[in-house]
Amino acid sequence: MKAALLKSFGGTDLITIGEVGSRDLGPNEALVRVEAASANPLDLKIIAGYMQQVFPIRFPYVPGTDFSGVIDAVGTEVTNTRPGDRVFGRTAPSAGGAFGRNVVIEATDLCVFPAEMSFEQAAALPTAFGAARQGLFDVGHLQRGQRVLIHAAAGGVGSMAVQLAHHAGAHVIATASARNIELVKSLGADEVIDYHTEDFTQVRNIGLVLDTIGGETLEKSWSVLSAGGRIASLVEFGIKPRGEQAGEFAFFASATPYLPEAVRQFRAGHLQIIIESIFPLDETRSALEKLATGHARGKVLVRLSN
Ligand SMILES: NC(=O)c1ccc[n+]([C@@H]2O[C@H](COP(=O)([O-])OP(=O)(O)OC[C@H]3O[C@@H](n4cnc5c(N)ncnc54)[C@H](OP(=O)(O)O)[C@@H]3O)[C@@H](O)[C@H]2O)c1
């Protein structure tokens, strides 16, 4: 099958397009004909070789974890889905494979999505929606009425997090650059701070910071917390509590538990899925380069079929 391929660690310039063999289906697996896949910063970290301790890969590696498509075949023990179903999901990062025409995956890791959701919209969801939900609620314990500061609100995770926090009844304060302020407000932010021209530490009494940036942004974020406030960091795995303020890393192990909720929120009209751009498979490298700018608005997609 045709796929984007990585044969050694380095930059996105090493991504080529080629043919790889497909493996046989196990009894609990499904073969998905991939229609769309989305890029995530984790893909770039894997390509660079930074994730070998956590998510080891072998070459040739087909990058990408988040995909949507149609089931072509299922193993003998599969009961939750069948050929012809429109499904989406996330492969294990060590397996990758989303930027390839076919994915083989445990069938229980797939979720059926409705006809009113496009393949591109579905492929945009697994990591961005799941990490936003996990960071805000499982790790962040966000409560109705709480003030939450969401960094990088125009990005993949941030654009989902703003909507989830808004619909959960939080007061949402977000950071973005000027060109994205109206977009982030339209997603439900009550206040948007242009991080290029304003100091976000002007805000106070924040119950939860969702940190998607790390470094200096994370360091400065401690000062905006209320007594007993909390930082959920998606970036700094070494984060620790400071005094009575909590700090915890959100490790996104699996998207599977969050997929049905993403469909429910979409059906309820609570989820706009912001798509920065869509590239054909042959231009997967350009898609990853777009993401690598660090300034994508929403999600960068790759279309697998013509
Ligand atoms: N822990 C986990 O398991 C986990 C899971 C998912 C994601 N993550 C991490 O979370 C981070 C965000 O992921 P993502 O998919 O949302 O990335 P993304 O889509 O590439 O984020 C791009 C956005 O970041 C904004 N941005 C860049 N610098 C900023 C700054 N200093 N302040 C505020 N906004 C800034 C940009 O906004 P402007 O264009 O407006 O500047 C752009 O919209 C990544 O580091 C990713 O690896 C971790």
CATH of the domain at 133: 3.40.50.720
The pLDDT tens digits of the residues spanning 20-45 come to: 998 899 999 999 999 999 999 999 99
The pLDDT tens digits of the residues spanning 160-192 come to: 999 999 999 999 999 999 999 999 999 999 999
Q: Are residues 115 and 6 in the same domain?
A: yes
List the CATH number of the domain containing 66: 3.90.180.10
Is residue 158 in contact with ligand 1, taking CB distance under 6 Å?
A: yes
**Nearest alpha carbon to residue 165 among 195, 122, 202, 135:** 135
Q: Are residues 226 and 290 in the same domain?
A: no
Given pLDDT bands bounded at 50, 70 and 90, which one contains residue 306?
Answer: low
The pLDDT tens digits of the residues spanning 130-156 come to: 999 999 999 999 999 999 999 999 999
Spatial separation of the C-alpha atoms in residues 226 and 238, rounded to whole Å: 22
Which token pair is 256? 């599977």
Establish if 144 belongs to a structural domain. Answer: yes
Domain that holds residue 288: 2-125+273-303
- Dist. CA 32 → ligand 1 center (Å): 29
- Dist. CA 84 → ligand 1 center (Å): 35
Is residue 285 in contact with ligand 1, taking CB distance under 6 Å?
A: no
Q: Are residues 95 and 153 in the same domain?
A: no
Establish if 243 belongs to a structural domain. Answer: yes
Amino acid letter, 218: L
Spatial separation of the C-alpha atoms in residues 209 and 150, rounded to whole Å: 6
- Whether the model pTM is above 0.95: yes
76 contacts 24 by C-beta, under 8 angstroms: no
Q: Are residues 145 and 186 in the same domain?
A: yes
- Dist. CA 31 → ligand 1 center (Å): 31
How many domains is the chain built from? 2
Q: Are residues 136 and 169 in the same domain?
A: yes
Is residue 155 in contact with ligand 1, taking CB distance under 6 Å?
A: yes
The protein residue with its alpha carbon nearest to ligand 1, atom 30, reads 152
Establish if 256 belongs to a structural domain. Answer: no
Q: Are residues 106 and 56 in the same domain?
A: yes
Establish if 172 belongs to a structural domain. Answer: yes
